[in-house]
Amino acid sequence: MIPRTETTMIVVHCSATPAYMDVGAPEIKRWHLARGWSDIGYHWVVRRNGTMERGRKQNLQGAHCKQVNSTSIGICLVGGTYEDNEPHDNFTMEQYASLKTLVYGLWLEYPSISAVCGHRDIPGVSKDCPSFEVADFLNAIDFDGARP
């Protein structure tokens, strides 16, 4: 795996699972290894109860969005679909609270971060992931005068 030398972005993803599936970083890692990847692709996984689990080492390039893996940190919220796999914002308040905490902490750790977006907001991506508007989420919360 390759170290990430620049961090300019956070990309928010979903696990594309229905609300009743509470998977975590170990299960997602198994899915990614079964696809032939060297590790879990995301740096963070946020479970249904808001627990934040570490994925891939944060200083390494991710495997979550090929267009920006070399400059971004990937966060995966567990959920994001109906049982028929159609997109659905089924995330819990605990997950949104943890996402706020995680984004804020990463901004403090990496002052070079200039963008936080959903996977679907990256040019060339044709997915609905993460099944909600990340920009609306950021605009609706108070970061106590800090970025964004």
pTM listed for this prediction:
0.95
2 vs 82: CA distance, rounded Å: 35
pLDDT of residue 53: 98
Give the DSSP letter of residue 25.
H
- 3-class DSSP assignment, residue 94: helix
pLDDT by position in tens, the chain (length 148): 899 999 999 999 999 999 999 999 999 999 999 999 999 999 999 999 999 999 999 999 999 999 999 999 999 999 999 999 999 999 999 999 999 999 999 999 999 999 999 999 999 999 999 999 999 998 887 666 665 5
For the chain, the structural domain boundaries read: 9-139
Q: 9-139: which CATH number, 3.40.80.10, 3.40.640.10, 2.170.270.10, 3.40.50.300? A: 3.40.80.10
Q: Decide: 8 and 70 in contact? Cβ < 8 Å.
A: no
Whether the CA torsion 117, 46, 99, 137 is positive or negative: it is positive
Residue in the structure block whose two tokens are 């997109």: 87
